[in-house]
Amino acid sequence: MAIRISDQVVAVPRRRVNPADYAAPVGGGLLVALLAVSLIVNLVKTPTAFLDLFLVGLTVGAVYALIALGYSLVYGILELINFAHGDVFMLGAMMTTTFVGIFNLQGGGSLGALVPAILAMLVICAVFCGALNVGIEFVAYRPLRNAPRLAPLITAIGASFICQNAGLVWKGPAPVNIADNILPTGQIFTWGDAGYGWNKLIVVVVTVPTLLVLTWFVQKTKQGKAMRAVAQDKDAAAMMGINVNRTISTTFLIAGALAGFAGVLYSLFFTSVTFDTGFRLGLFAFTAAVLGGIGNLPGAVLGALCIGMIEQFNNGLGWHAPGTDWTTSIIFAILILILVFRPEGLLGERTPEGG
């Protein structure tokens, strides 16, 4: 191809079309189309089961969102994946089972006794997990802040195993169970045979205001602005008079408190906790944070809701659903695909460093 400019002819090379450039979008589009067809067929064949799984998936996703936000907060300010975060959540769930016994909560109890007990457990577990997370940052991460990135990553894995073994020594290897119906199980509304119960609503009632308050705190308060400044440039923030260490500790405190909230809700909703619960659910929440865009708070919530519904649909749908044996594999396959084809996530922004 040639273009004439005045009396000169300038050759413009043709850009060759590389089929590999279109493989990822086409493959991803086909995968989404197959998933959509599967969901539509299941909705038509079993609408009641589909709606019930959708509502449970939203509830589970709300719990995952609290954990995923902790990952995003810490990564946004330190660019560190705090792998101990899931185990901090597990210890908060273990703490909840302990206080269920202390408060003598039984199934079918009155709301007058249940509501103050839940509020007390939320406060206690938030303080416990927040303080634990701050301690982990002070002991394990702060001395390595200027070290190569591999060093704090290995330390985070080590802190995760320490917390996991603490849970093992504390409660033992067997599942720790509490009464199934501590949360009210009555139906708020029904659609056919599917219903939305009070136990699901209580999880959402705790989660949604927490997310709104967190968004307001990060966007509007002086400490939230300091967190965003430190996330953008630590040295410049320090020059402007911001206490970087205190700001980072505050971030870990908030992330730990969110894990404590999630621990309370998870224990009361699922009624069973084991010492390795945090490892599995922590990785699910980490996948949710990556799916939505690591460091992006609305993205973490969106990713968590998606992961919660994917998990429940895979476990419960009858038409060509892989089943519970494949749930973990599917979640990690999503993590791999996101990291390969869209590392910035659904709501994240593409950066030179992130691709």
pLDDT tens for 280-309 read: 899 899 999 988 888 788 889 999 999 999
Cα dihedral 351, 346, 200, 278 sign:
negative
Which residue type does 125 have?
Answer: C
Pull the structure tokens for residue 132. 């634990």
Average pLDDT over the chain reads 85
Residue the block writes with tokens 């994946």: 81
Cα dihedral 264, 270, 274, 277 sign:
negative
Q: Please check whether residue 197 is in contact with residue 190, taking contact to mean a CB–CB distance below 8 angstroms.
A: no
Q: Please check whether residue 282 is in contact with residue 87, taking contact to mean a CB–CB distance below 8 angstroms.
A: yes
Say what the alpha-carbon torsion angle 35, 41, 42, 44 is, to the nearest 10 degrees. Answer: 140
Q: Please check whether residue 300 is in contact with residue 345, taking contact to mean a CB–CB distance below 8 angstroms.
A: no
Q: Please check whether residue 166 is in contact with residue 91, taking contact to mean a CB–CB distance below 8 angstroms.
A: yes
Pull the structure tokens for residue 245. 């260490």
Cα 296 from Cα 274, distance rounded (Å):
30
Pull the structure tokens for residue 280. 């599995």
**Which of 279, 243, 228 shows the shortest CA–CA distance to 72?**
228
Cα 200 from Cα 197, distance rounded (Å):
6
Those residues with Cβ within 8 angstroms of residue 281's Cβ, 6 or more apart along the chain or in another chain: 64, 67, 86, 89, 90, 266
DSSP per residue, 46-71: -HHHHHHHHHHHHHHHHHHHHHHHHH
Q: What is the DSSP letter of 348?
A: P
Those residues with Cβ within 8 angstroms of residue 98's Cβ, 6 or more apart along the chain or in another chain: none
Cα 290 from Cα 340, distance rounded (Å):
11
- Number of other residues whose CB lies within 10 A of the CB of residue 301: 27
pLDDT tens for 124-142 read: 999 999 999 999 999 999 9
Counting residues of the chain whose pLDDT is more than 70, the rounded percentage is 89
- Number of other residues whose CB lies within 10 A of the CB of residue 58: 18
Q: What is the mean pLDDT of residues 12-23?
A: 59
pLDDT tens for 28-52 read: 677 778 778 888 888 888 888 888 8
Query: Band of the pLDDT at 354, cuts 50, 70, 90?
Result: very low
Query: Does the pLDDT at position 21 exceed 70?
Result: no
3-class DSSP assignment, residue 112: helix
Query: Does the pLDDT at position 158 exceed 60?
Result: yes
Task: Give the max Cα distance, the chain.
Answer: 93
What are residue 272's phi and psi, to 5 degrees? -150, 135
pLDDT tens for 233-265 read: 888 988 888 999 999 999 999 999 999 999 999
Residue the block writes with tokens 């301690």: 135
**Which of 287, 302, 339 shows the shortest CA–CA distance to 62?**
302
Cα 201 from Cα 107, distance rounded (Å):
17
